[in-house]
Homo-oligomer: A and B are copies of this chain.
């Protein structure tokens, strides 16, 4: 029986390509169960045996099979971070927070992007259910349609049927009854944008545009913050307003959208823009420059997210800081069923950060050249 087809592995025996507990037990001259106990530091083993078994295991390069463990109930838990595409600092920061908590709990993190297809989302979730993930963090904005929430509810059920939790992360607390029992970790997007808009109003702007409206949860909340601030200032806006331009959060769309807003007759052109994301704001900077507009004299801008690059721009970008990492940590606790102090639908506060991108519109009027 001298077969030699195992991969380029260590000394050990094993048929499929790994040293098993059985091998260790045999080599140590004990039963499998004793070996198991010894390695698990189970107190019901004599110190001598334990030491010996552990030594043997080390010599054989034994590595327990964690997959099998999970089968028995023991084993490493696993949490998945599912999002459209994990580009972008915001996600990275959230993921960082999730990872921190998971590591402390000895759990592992799956990362999955759904690449925008709703089909992708389903496929990913099903795969995760099969792998008996203990929890799924569905991260990022969701489309706010009944159909979509129905789908989410199905995911919830599917995951529940294998004992896994679903947590929505970064979406506003949802009103849709279909999903009202699914935990959501949100942050106060409305107030954030409201504060940002107010800063522009306070500087004297009236002609304030909004970049980013669309039928997604996040965008809608942010739009609402803008609208409220405007209304309080006696200005009304609605989604059809020419000052409200829809765009996705990707370069290809941002440029044209910004152009539509800025390439106008000075009289029609906004003196300030509220951007749904910093990335959009960055795009606005580029477009404004291309059109020869001076920032902030000719155009004031506020963003949302507080990206690292904001302070390197000229002028530095006023924005809304979101505690993404903390959100990630909280979501991780929720999904692992760890005790939390803000319930299942926390809404984290955000903070408006004024910087140099806001100027009074008067300056525009007085500019001479």
Contacts and interface: CB of A to CB of B under 8 A. Distances in A.
A70 B70 CA distance: 11
A11 to B, nearest CB: 9
B279 A308 contact: yes
Q: Indicate how many identical chains form the complex.
A: 2
A86 B81 contact: no
A71 B68 contact: yes
A186 to B, nearest CB: 22
Contacts of A157: 10, 61
Contact of A88 (B92, B130, B286): B92
Nearest to A11: B161
A67 interface: yes
Nearest to A124: B103
A160 B71 contact: no
B67 A9 contact: no
Contact of A311 (B61, B86, B286): B286
B113 A110 contact: no
A233 to B, nearest CB: 29
A163 to B, nearest CB: 5
Interface string A281-301: 011011001000000000000
A111 interface: yes
A66 interface: yes
Given A61-B158, A160-B8, A113 B85 contact: no
A158 B19 CA distance: 12
A368 interface: no
Contacts of A212: none
Contacts of A307: 309
A92 B87 contact: yes
A146 interface: no
A37 interface: no
A246 to B, nearest CB: 21
Nearest to A251: B308
Given A157-B10, A160-B7, A160-B9, A95 B86 contact: yes
8 contacts: A7-B163, A63-B126, A67-B71, A71-B71, A111-B111, A282-B312, A289-B314, A314-B314
Given A66-B131, A92-B92, 13 more contacts: A9-B161, A19-B161, A63-B161, A66-B130, A76-B131, A81-B111, A87-B92, A99-B112, A99-B113, A283-B312, A285-B314, A286-B311, A312-B313
